[in-house]
A and B are shown apart, each in its own frame.
Chain A
Amino acid sequence: MTDLLAIGTRKGLWLARSDDDRRTWTLGEPHLLAQEVAAVSIDTRDPVPRVLAGIQYGHWGPTVMRSDDLGASWQETETGAIRFPEDTGAALARVWQLRPDAADRPGVVWAGCEPHSLWRSTDGGCSFDLVRGLWDHPHRPTWEPGAGGGAVHTVLPDPASDRVTVAMSTGGVYVSGDGRTGWAPRNSGISAVFLPEPPEYGQCVHKVAVDAAGPDRMYAQNHFGVFRTDDAGGTWTSIAEGLPADFGFPVVASPSTPGTAWVVPLVADVQRVPPAGRLRVHRTRDAGGTWTELGAGLPDGCWAAVVRDALCADAGDPTGLYVGTRDGCVYASADEGDTFTQVADHLPDVLVVRAARI
């Protein structure tokens, strides 16, 4: 059995493998070198795993590449897997998220993109259709871009229903009961420090994760503030007490243990570095009631941020946790964050990590 870790960076994709239950890792040669890889997924629903990469091809625009042989070769849909319909007058700027759906929905893959848009594929990511219900939303003209651009960066399909939750910077959290229409903002309780009054929508939500207890419980790492909802976003309450800073980009929930989640706090707003230059992951076991700092194997003297998709969990037992930094280091934990080992250093800025057993 092999564990695969995909590391998307500002200048290429690296794949690391572990054949000893994630104790040691071997980093491979670069793929898609010199191309920004901001979104990656490892789709293990078919016997042959498929790696999807959302890339920025240097000067030559964004696209989606796919590999069915773990990077030995890459394919691209001739007309573009993600291509705005002509009547929109829009053009794809960046792929921010690639998310395979549940095992009993073979071929369904979701993509979140810039400009703010949600896409759905039924052929494993070869081609995507624009979700018109969100694109045509009357709020869309007022969703402002964050510093990184205006995008749907988080897509959370509910495996037990047709409900889909998305998060945007800025824009906030929106939910649709059928994944197509009726998108409603779900931001009550999430702060927006850059606006004079708490808005119905427009928050700068950096990442949202679904708790293992069920789809109604979610965590949000906001642009200032860490929050939890127990009613599918109807109301959010702060769970930031006990963290050294409430700013950060990623939040990841355990896929198997209810109440367990991880964040990487950063000092903000101007610095956006680990507090005191100590890279630490913080874990809750009680849905945000308390937090524990985890640092075994993580460096001091680290002044690099961890961006929103550079933290992920795998589906192993115990859960594996992976964190990548903007100074090109990647750390892996096979024990839910208790201890980390270094997988890579001196890579370009790490933008995304994803792990799967293949």
Chain B
Amino acid sequence: MSVEVVLPGVLADLAGGTRHLQVDPGGGTLAELLDSLAAVHPLLERRIRDEAGALRRFVNVYVDGDDVRYTGGLGAPVADGAVVQVLPSVAGG
């Protein structure tokens, strides 16, 4: 079982210099995928989720093109072979 996690360039250093990671999706939800990610790349996972387990406010996550805010959040299903894209939202100044 494997899914592709696609990262923005700013996070590539925390993934060993790559923007594309193959990650075991675990039990099949986004939360479990991020748990798997944390086991290998803890700093990277902390950029996406805080220590209480919540997705950071200005981080957008898409599973096969769907914004997880509308598909179950951390409970969103992540199937074998899915593409999970992490993007910074429009914020800042």
Interface of A with B (CB < 8 Å)?
A: 57-61, 63, 76, 78-80, 83-84, 86, 89-92
Contacts and interface: CB of A to CB of B under 8 A. Distances in A.
Interface stretch (B53-61, B63-71, B77-85): B53-61
Nearest to B50: A91
A78 B14 CA distance: 10
Interface residues of B, number: 18
Q: List the 5 closest A-B pairs by CB distance, nearest first.
A: A91-B50, A60-B47, A59-B58, A91-B52, A59-B88
B59 A78 contact: no
Nearest to B51: A83
B50 A61 contact: yes
B52 A79 contact: no
A206 B43 CA distance: 33
A60 B61 CA distance: 13
A196 to B, nearest CB: 34
Nearest to B57: A59
Contacts of B10: 58, 60
Contacts of B88: 58-60
B27 interface: no
Nearest to A79: B42
Nearest to A78: B42
Main secondary structure of the interface of A (DSSP, over half): loop
Contacts of A89: 52
A63 B50 CA distance: 11
Given A59-B59, A59-B89, 19 more contacts: A58-B88, A59-B56, A60-B11, A60-B56, A60-B59, A61-B46, A61-B47, A61-B50, A76-B43, A78-B42, A79-B42, A80-B46, A80-B51, A84-B51, A86-B51, A86-B52, A89-B52, A91-B52, A91-B54
A80 B46 CA distance: 8
B92 interface: yes
B50 A92 contact: yes
Contact of B43 (A59, A78, A91, A92): A78
Contacts of A84: 51-52
A90 B52 CA distance: 6
Contacts of A57: 47
Contacts of A91: 50-52, 54
